Structure 1
């Protein structure tokens, strides 16, 4: 009887210690041009990301890359976390419920 109990406890411990299954890409698209790009993907674990960018003319001989996008993921408790962002000549500007507002 003790042997069965020990075996059951070891089996449960091994199941709990097993790594989660690897996520697979279920959707992926990209479009890359000389002066712009866009891409997006989604994985089987609920992770999503999309981004697009283009060159912005700042002056006669000055350009900057401006990028906008978002990403989200599902944590171990099943809660989805999402971030939207812009990155341009003013820096990286993320927004989301998980980011404290100053």
Structure 2
């Protein structure tokens, strides 16, 4: 028993001890640069991606949740997407989305992706997406729905905008 008390005391003192200031200080990482050539200082390395300007863009939104947008970048990139509301006002309400995007990769090859998404899933097609992935996503979106059996939703105890006590109605 004495050993456990000693061990517990030792751990309590160790956790209560102040942290050495040098341990708490985080040293900045050393910056690696190539040595200057002919005594000319090296230019600082830019670590940020270049900002790409938007050449053209548009957006339309509906109060029901439908939308349509697009943009085209200075670098040739492009994206467009449209969504419509399916089964509005029902418990099965969802968006049906179609869209596409494109950009040029590091080798100058244009990458184009077309996609759709709805309550059945996301299905992409493109020249950088393996055909097996596109086929599996399409097949999955076409599977029959599982019918979920739920008990009917209980009626709200609010009648005519006034809260009513359900126990008095019986």
For residues 1-102 of structure 1, the aligned pairs below 5 Å read 6-7=37-38, 21-35=50-64, 36-57=66-87, 60-102=90-132
Deviations 1:47-99 (A, max 9, x none): 10000001111895421111000001111211110100000011010001211
Structure having the higher helix fraction is 2
Q: Which runs of 5+ in 2 are unaligned?
A: 1-36, 133-170
2: CA distance, partners of 1:94 / 1:78: 22
| TM-score (normalised: structure 1) | 0.77
Displacement of 1:20: 6.2
For structure 1, the residue ranges without an aligned partner over 5 or more in a row are 1-5
Return the alpha-carbon distance in structure 2 between the equivalents of residues 101 and 94 of structure 1.
Answer: 10
Of Structure 1 and Structure 2, which has the larger fraction of its residues in strand?
1
Q: May I ask how many residue pairs the two structures share in their alignment?
A: 95
